[in-house]
Amino acid sequence: MSVVRSKICGITRVEDALVAVAAGADAIGLVFYAKSPRAVSVEQAREIVAALPPFVTTVGLFVDIERAELQRILQVVPLDLLQFHGDESLAQCEGYSRPYIKALRVKPGDDIAALMAQYPSASGILLDTYVEGVPGGTGLAFDWSLVPAQLPKPVILAGGLTPDNVAAAIARVRPYAVDVSGGVEASKGIKDAGKVRAFIREVRGG
């Protein structure tokens, strides 16, 4: 069985980023979306990224951001990967000289393979829970049986994952990676070190 990667998203503090890395996280996520309780400023993000050791992927999460604003952020924060979590078209995801992943919010009746095919240049597709009017971070899981067994891109599974259910989610979906934010928090934007360690331990099979 292949190794499942893990991303701890919604990092707002250097100490939480370092806890995630020490626990074995492959990536950390920084939210550049002002309406999120986990949003970071450019200055916060730069400080967090500067504190990280090598071989940790830094991911910036964006929701329908203006191109000029994203380019301004990239001039200041050395992000490795872009995550588009809004209603971005293929053209809006491309052109930043960075690989990207596109988030899809899953609901019954969706043809996930067809939706994925709209983003042929994506490095992977993140599957999250659909909640009307909310781009992500709902803390709710979707029906994992909706995910087809064979998909054309690496799948990053998100939405309501916790240390208690992530092993079952991996067994059901067989994703390339899992992405957690609220499921390892003490409060919004503040990670719980014990939960972070427990989550990654479960991802790695205990």
Judge whether 93 counts as a catalytic residue: no
C-alpha distances in Å from residue 150, one per residue of 4, 9, 78, 146:
16, 26, 33, 12
193 backbone dihedrals φ, ψ, rounded to 5°: -60, -40
Residue 34 in tokens: 């002002």
Residue 110 among the catalytic residues: no
Nearest alpha-carbon partner for 183 in 136, 139, 144 = 139
Annotated catalytic residue, options 16, 26, 128, 179: 128
Q: What is residue 129's three-state secondary structure?
A: strand
Of the candidates 9, 16, 26, 93, the residue annotated as catalytic is 9
The percent helix, strand, coil of the chain (3-state, each to 5) is 30, 25, 45
Q: What number of other Cβ atoms are within 10 A of residue 193's Cβ?
A: 16
Q: Which residues pair with 185 in a beta bridge?
A: 191
Residues annotated as part of the active site = 9, 128
